[in-house]
């Protein structure tokens, strides 16, 4: 076990981001409740171990689309925002029920780019997170899609909630960011198109070569963030003192395995 892997055991404040592809059942286009229940159990266990835990969750637009009986992605910004408004309510309800069953309190935090850029709003957000952690609450975070367009229009090149989760890690002073994806980690090439692509276990420097490898891996289906978005998140997190892991979210137990030092996923080491 490398020193980088062994130090994961001691992480005290962990941000976990789950993407739409890991949250939505491809057969029903609805929430994968079994996977969500397993994720909640793992996060609750981490909280009971004395760690601060925060969940950044995608999926509002996809869940809203399903609830409204729509198929495919919405084709206009107003529709996306309306679907997000419906889906966010459904999503937080699902989380609230599961966390309550696990005897853990959760609280919803909706952020916009303005919140993170305005000094006073930023300070208020920091204070809110700190108080929630003190109370033993697990915050569930998403961008406020119904009024904010930065994420769903992907104006920022970082894209999706990968960037948001990295900014939350920076905002809260987290020492670990975990991105749950639909693949095992970062590969030397897109494993969906190249069977010879190899998994990269640890990354200490985001090289130009690595950025080139990430190009052309934009997520399909219900997700919007590809590997380039995850590299951008890694840049933000590691520059601010947090390690970052990309893990396969199909099995939330991978979180526990990684924190025990098992060599899974791709670990980006903090500066």
Highest average pLDDT, of 25-29, 45-49, 208-212, comes from: 45-49
Q: Give yes or no for residue 239 having a pLDDT over 90.
A: yes
Q: Give yes or no for residue 172 having a pLDDT over 50.
A: yes
pLDDT (tens digit per residue) in 185-223: 999 887 778 888 899 999 999 988 888 877 755 554 444
**3-268 architecture in CATH?**
3-Layer(aba) Sandwich (3.40)
**CA distance to 7, 60, 122, 235, per residue, from 57 (Å):** 26, 8, 20, 20
Burial class for 201, CB neighbours closer than 10 Å (0-12, 13-18, 19+) = middle
- Indicate the angle between helix axes 160-172 and 119-134, nearest 10 degrees: 80
pLDDT (tens digit per residue) in 250-266: 999 999 999 999 999 99
- Check residue 156 and give its pLDDT: 36
Q: Give yes or no for residue 155 having a pLDDT over 60.
A: no
Q: What is the full DSSP assignment across 158-207?
A: T-HHHHHHHHHHHHHT-SEEEEEESSSS-BSS-TTT-TT--B--EESS--
- Check residue 191 and give its pLDDT: 78
pLDDT (tens digit per residue) in 117-126: 889 999 999 9
- Check residue 158 and give its pLDDT: 34
Burial class for 191, CB neighbours closer than 10 Å (0-12, 13-18, 19+) = middle
Classify the C-alpha dihedral 180-182-185-187 as positive or negative.
negative
Distance of alpha carbon 99 from the chain centroid? 18
Domain definitions of the chain by residue range:
3-268
In angstroms, the first-to-last Cα distance of the chain is: 20
Q: Give yes or no for residue 159 having a pLDDT over 70.
A: no
pLDDT (tens digit per residue) in 58-81: 888 899 999 999 987 888 888 888
Whole-number percent of the chain with pLDDT over 90:
61
């Amino acid at each position: 076990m490398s020193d980088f892997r062994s130090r994961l055991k001691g992480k005290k404040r962990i941000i976990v981001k789950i993407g739409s592809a890991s949250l939505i059942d491809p057969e029903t286009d609805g929430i994968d409740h079994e996977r969500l229940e397993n994720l909640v159990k793992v996060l609750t266990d981490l909280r009971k171990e004395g760690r601060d835990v925060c969940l950044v969750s995608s999926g509002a637009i996809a869940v809203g689309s399903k609830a409204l009986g729509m198929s495919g992605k919405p084709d206009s910004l107003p529709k996306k925002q309306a679907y997000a408004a419906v889906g966010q309510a459904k999503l937080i309800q699902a989380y609230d029920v599961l966390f309550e069953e696990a005897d853990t309190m959760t609280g919803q935090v909706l952020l916009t780019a303005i919140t993170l850029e305005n000094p006073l709003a930023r300070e208020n957000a920091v204070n809110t997170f700190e108080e929630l952690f003190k109370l033993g609450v697990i915050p569930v975070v998403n961008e406020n899609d119904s009024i904010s367009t930065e994420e769903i229009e992907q104006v920022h090149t970082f894209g999706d909630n990968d960037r948001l989760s990295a900014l939350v890690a920076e905002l809260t002073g987290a020492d670990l960011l975990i991105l749950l994806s639909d693949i095992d980690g970062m590969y030397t090439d897109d494993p969906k198109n190249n069977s010879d692509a190899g998994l990269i276990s640890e990354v200490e420097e985001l090289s130009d070569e690595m950025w080139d490898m990430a190009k052309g891996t934009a997520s399909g289906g219900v997700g919007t963030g590809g590997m380039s978005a995850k590299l951008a998140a890694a840049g933000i997190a590691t520059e601010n003192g947090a390690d970052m892991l990309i893990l396969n979210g199909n099995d939330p137990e991978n979180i526990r395995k990684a924190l025990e030092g098992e060599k899974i996923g791709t670990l980006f080491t903090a500066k």
